[in-house]
Each structure stands twice: as structure tokens, then as C-alpha cells.
Amino acid sequence: MNALLERELGALAEKLRASTVAVRLGRAGHGSGVIWSSDGAIVTNAHVASRERAQVVLSDGRSFEAKLAKRDAGRDLALLRIDATDLPAATVRDPSDLRAGELLVAVGHPLGVPNAISMGIAHAPLAGADFVQADLRLAPGNSGGPLADAQGRVVGINSMVAGGLALAVPAGAVQRFLGAAPAALGVALAAARLRDGRPALVVVGIEPGSRAARAGLRVGDVLPPVEPARLATLPSLEISRAGTPVTLAIPPPDEGARAA
């Protein structure tokens, strides 16, 4: 059992390390970053990418000069671009359904130690919070690196430590910062009201071959109160079918997609 667990943790660490980079600004500082797309988009913290140019070092040792493409100091996010293709991009999960106690993993380059990994748990649900909170250890150099779940899906970008907790910018906020529009679920919905008076949505149409169809949604399924705009980014959906609660896994936009 221990050997199996070690293999699984080793595979998780390698997956995350492959999409984690070092971001260097000479003697001015260093940090980490995440390969967000295979065409050279690197996401990191704004306080890491404090200059127009930086050096990005991949996990395989290759080094590239990066240009600052976008920066939001208020959200502590920055987008760097490097001239590279076919990079091992991270898999991303919307942390809105993250449960307290879930295993979380951080990867980065703390205090100059390359590809260091630390493990802990989600401290609290994301609802209403500006950051994903995790009870794990971060150090200078972890900033900009990934915070991921047990399946290696990035739920946030490590930003700071407060009250002994690691705080990460949620993956959904990163997507909005990048201007990435979530893929449509492929359903037509109508407003309804449950017997207890709560508002709900009823599925009145499903696009053939859509994510909704692949998930197994049916016309007549009832969705409990949920923001329609969030339907495209939810990894799973709780519905009521003939009065019986059903949980459906929502597939990504396509089989090779990385965003949840």
C-alpha cells in the first residue's frame, strides 16, 4: 500500500513539475510560474513579474527570454510570453467546489530549491473568498507557482502567506484575467421555481454532441439555484431527475482541453 501511494504521489509531483517554471529577474528576485497553454503563455504573480522582461527556465532545463504581456497588480497576476510551442500545459480546475480537507499540493522554487513540493489540505471552501486557502508551507520563490488538487489539476496560483495559511489566486480569476471565455455547456434553460419556493433552472433543450449531451443531461432535468454563467466552468453538476438527486461529471470542451 505504501509503495502504491509513493508511486501515485511521485506521478503527481512529476506532472506538476512539468508545467511549473522558474521565473528569474537577475539579482532582483525570483519566483515560479505555470505553463497555462502550450503556445508559450506563462502565468505568474504580478509581484514576481515586476519588469518587462524575465528569464523563464522550464523543468527540462531550457531557458527562454520572456516578455511581459499583461499585468494586474491588484489581483497579483501577470502573463509572460515565451517563444516556444508544444509545452506541457497545466490542467486546470475551477476551485468553486473545493471542499475543506481536500489534499492540495504546491510546487515551486522556494529559496532557490528547484521543483520543491509541499502538501497540505484545503483550509476552507472558496465561496465568498478572494483566495484559495491551504494549510501548507510556502516560502519565497513559491510565488507564482501552482496550487493543485490530488489529480494534479491547478486550482490556483500561489500568491502569499497570511496567518500561516497559503493563499492562492483562484484559477477562475486567472481565466478572467486572461480573457478566456468558458466553453458553452450546450443547453437551453428555462426559469422555474421549486416546491419550497427556491428558484431553479429546467433543461428544455440540449445541443447534440455538446458537453451537456456527453455528461448525460436530459430535457426535463432540474438544476437547483446556480448562476447560469458558472455552468460552463463547473466540473460536476448536481441535478434533480424525476425527483431524485443525480451528480453528473461535466466533461471539458474537448478531450484534449486543459481548462475545467
All cell numbers assigned to 240 = 434533480
Domain extents in the chain: 2-81, 91-174, 187-249
Q: DSSP character for 229?
A: G
185 and 227 Cβ atoms separated by less than 8 Å: no
Residue 114 phi/psi, 5° resolution? -75, 140
**In terms of CATH architecture, what is 187-249?**
Roll (2.30)
Q: Note down pLDDT in tens along the chain; length 260 residues.
A: 466 666 777 788 889 999 999 999 876 568 999 999 999 999 999 999 989 999 999 999 999 999 999 999 999 999 999 999 899 999 998 888 888 899 999 999 888 788 889 999 998 766 556 889 999 988 888 999 999 999 999 999 999 998 889 999 999 889 889 885 556 778 888 888 888 888 888 999 998 888 888 888 999 999 877 665 566 666 677 888 887 888 887 776 543 333 22
90 and 34 Cβ atoms separated by less than 8 Å: yes
Residue 47 known to be catalytic: yes
Same fold, 2-81 and 91-174: yes
Residue 236 known to be catalytic: no
171 and 92 Cβ atoms separated by less than 8 Å: yes
Residue 59 known to be catalytic: no
**In terms of CATH architecture, what is 2-81?**
Beta Barrel (2.40)
All cell numbers assigned to 206 = 440540449
Torsion angle (degrees, nearest 10) of CA 111, 48, 116, 151: 160
**pLDDT score recorded for residue 255:** 38
The residue annotated as part of the active site, out of 30, 59, 76, 221, is 76
* CATH dotted code for 91-174: 2.40.10.10
Q: Is the dihedral of CA 168, 169, 171, 172 positive or negative?
A: positive
